[in-house]
Amino acid sequence: MKLLYVYILECSDGSYYTGITNNLTRRLEQHQSGKNPDSYTFSRRPVEMVFYAEFTDFYYAIDKEKQIKRWSKVKKKALIEGRFEDLVNLAKKNFD
């Protein structure tokens, strides 16, 4: 059974980047090295991995990545900080 990871990086400008991978170490190294000059994180390095979750179901992992990408920065921060009880309330408000 192969694991997939949905992860959140905090960029040097304070923004968050959400992605998916099957190898966290390799993917973080790719972001840090600037492997892809067209990527969101290229001009926002260095980055720090601040959250990840493991999944065994590929489609569920993709769904969760897409869901988190739509979240506000405030809601992502609550997830990162483990304030799961706040996620429902943050879903009802429009934060930037």
Residue pLDDT, tens place only, 4-50: 999 999 999 999 999 999 999 999 999 999 989 999 999 999 999 99
Tens digits of per-residue pLDDT, 55-82? Answer: 999 999 999 999 999 999 999 999 999 9
Nearby residues of 86 by Cβ (< 8 Å), 6 or more positions away: 78
**Residue 68 exposed, middle or buried by CB count within 10 Å (0-12, 13-18, 19+):** buried
Taking the C-alpha atoms of residue 29 and residue 79, their distance in angstroms, rounded to an integer, is 23
Instruction: Name the nearest CA neighbour of 4 among 65, 57, 46, 75.
Output: 57
- Structural domains of the chain, with CATH: 4-70 (3.40.1440.10)
